[in-house]
Structure 1
Amino acid sequence: MTRITFVATRKNTDPTERELYEMDLLCRALGFQRAFLDLGIQTVMACTPPGVSIDLVDEYIDPIAYDVKTDLVALSAKTSCVTHAYEVARRFRAKGKRVVLGGIHASLRPEEALEHVDCVVTGEAELLWPRVVRDLEAGKLKERYDADGFPPMDAIPPPAWGRSKPDSYLFHQIQTTRGCPFRCRFCSVPDISGQDFCFKPVERVIEELRALPRSRGPIASGKPLYVVDDNFISRVRYTKELLRAMIPLKKAGQIPSWSAETTLNVANDEEMLDLFRDAGCSTLIIGFESVTEASRAAMDEPVNFCLTYQEAVDRIHARGMTIIGNFIVGLDTDTLGVFQQTLDFVQKTGILYPFFSILTPTPGTNLFDEYKAAGRLDHEDWHLYDTRHVVFEPTNMTREELMDGYVWLYEQAYGADNLYARIERNWKRRTHGSNLVEKAFVAARLAPEMLKGDAELRRHFKQGIALMMSRHLASDAGQLLYLLDAYDFARFMRRFNTFARSESYRTFADRSRWNRAPAGVPEKASDLEKLGGMQWRNAKAVKRTKTSHPVVR
Structure 2
Amino acid sequence: MHQIDSYPEPFEFITFLVWVSAVLRRPMHQTVLGSTLSKGNELPLKILLIHPEFPDTFWSFKHALKFIRKRAAYPPLGLLTVAGMLPKDWSLRLIDINIQNLSDQDLAWADYAFVSAMAVQRESAVKVIARCNKVGLSVIAGGPLFTNEYDQFDGVDHFVLNEAELTLPPFLDDLQKGVARPIYQTTEFADIRKTPIPMWELAKLKRYGAMGVQFSRGCPFNCDFCNVTALFGHKPRIKTTAQMIAELDKLYRLGWRGSIFFVDDNFISKKRHLKTDLLPALIEWRKGKKGMPFNTEASLDLVDDEQLMKMMV
TM class by smaller structure: 0.7 to 0.9
Kept in 2, the 8 Å contact 1:6–1:56? The answer is yes
1:296-329 Cα distance to aligned partner (Å, 9 max, x none): xxxxxxxxxxxxxxxxxxxxxxxxxxxxxxxxxx
The answer for the alignment partner of 1:357 in structure 2 is: none
The answer for the alignment partner of 1:470 in structure 2 is: none
2:113 is equivalent to residue 73 of structure 1: yes
The answer for the alignment partner of 1:248 in structure 2 is: 284
The answer for the alignment partner of 1:323 in structure 2 is: none
The answer for the alignment partner of 1:108 in structure 2 is: 148
Unaligned 5+ runs, structure 1: 278-553
2:178 is equivalent to residue 135 of structure 1: no
Take 1:37 and 1:138, find their aligned partners in 2: how far apart are those partners?
Answer: 32
Kept in 2, the 8 Å contact 1:74–1:101? The answer is yes
Structure 1 length-normalised TM: 0.46
Aligned length: 267
The answer for the alignment partner of 1:225 in structure 2 is: 260
The answer for the alignment partner of 1:188 in structure 2 is: 227
The residue type paired with residue 6 of structure 1 is: L
Off by >6 Å, runs of 4+ in structure 1: none
The answer for the alignment partner of 1:163 in structure 2 is: 202
2:60 is equivalent to residue 22 of structure 1: yes
Measure how far apart 1:255 and its partner are. 6.4
Measure how far apart 1:276 and its partner are. 0.5
The answer for the alignment partner of 2:51 in structure 1 is: 8
Higher normalized helix content (fraction of residues):
1
Kept in 1, the 8 Å contact 2:258–2:291? The answer is no
- Cα separation, partners in 2 of 1:86 and 1:147, compared to 1, 3 Å: farther
- Cα separation, partners in 2 of 1:265 and 1:75, compared to 1, 3 Å: same
The answer for the alignment partner of 1:261 in structure 2 is: 297
Kept in 2, the 8 Å contact 1:202–1:242? The answer is yes
Q: 2:125 aligns with which of 62, 75, 85?
A: 85
- Cα separation, partners in 2 of 1:30 and 1:185, compared to 1, 3 Å: closer
SS, match of residue 20 in structure 1? coil
Structure 2 length-normalised TM: 0.79
> How well do the aligned residues superpose, as a CA RMSD in angstroms?
2.0
Kept in 1, the 8 Å contact 2:79–2:116? The answer is yes
The residue type paired with residue 88 of structure 1 is: V
Question: Among the aligned pairs, what percent are the same residue?
Answer: 28
Higher relative contact order (CA 8 A, sep 6+): 2
- Cα separation, partners in 2 of 1:209 and 1:255, compared to 1, 3 Å: farther
The residue type paired with residue 85 of structure 2 is: C
Unaligned 5+ runs, structure 2: 1-43
The answer for the alignment partner of 1:451 in structure 2 is: none
Take 1:231 and 1:93, find their aligned partners in 2: how far apart are those partners?
Answer: 39
Measure how far apart 1:133 and its partner are. 2.7
The answer for the alignment partner of 2:250 in structure 1 is: 211
1:519-552 Cα distance to aligned partner (Å, 9 max, x none): xxxxxxxxxxxxxxxxxxxxxxxxxxxxxxxxxx
Kept in 2, the 8 Å contact 1:209–1:255? The answer is no
Take 2:49 and 2:181, find their aligned partners in 1: how far apart are those partners?
Answer: 18
- Cα separation, partners in 2 of 1:3 and 1:161, compared to 1, 3 Å: same
Q: 2:272 aligns with which of 237, 240, 255?
A: 237
The answer for the alignment partner of 2:9 in structure 1 is: none
Take 1:127 and 1:255, find their aligned partners in 2: how far apart are those partners?
Answer: 36
Correspondence 1:347-386 to 2 at 5 A: none
Stretch moving more, 203-212 or 250-259: 250-259
1:402-430 Cα distance to aligned partner (Å, 9 max, x none): xxxxxxxxxxxxxxxxxxxxxxxxxxxxx
The residue type paired with residue 24 of structure 1 is: K
Take 1:82 and 1:20, find their aligned partners in 2: how far apart are those partners?
Answer: 15
Kept in 1, the 8 Å contact 2:50–2:97? The answer is yes
Q: 2:139 aligns with which of 99, 103, 112?
A: 99
The answer for the alignment partner of 1:117 in structure 2 is: 156
- Cα separation, partners in 2 of 1:20 and 1:112, compared to 1, 3 Å: closer
1:426-478 Cα distance to aligned partner (Å, 9 max, x none): xxxxxxxxxxxxxxxxxxxxxxxxxxxxxxxxxxxxxxxxxxxxxxxxxxxxx
SS, match of residue 145 in structure 1? coil
- Cα separation, partners in 2 of 1:202 and 1:143, compared to 1, 3 Å: same
Take 2:124 and 2:64, find their aligned partners in 1: how far apart are those partners?
Answer: 25
SS, match of residue 229 in structure 2? helix
- Cα separation, partners in 2 of 1:244 and 1:152, compared to 1, 3 Å: same
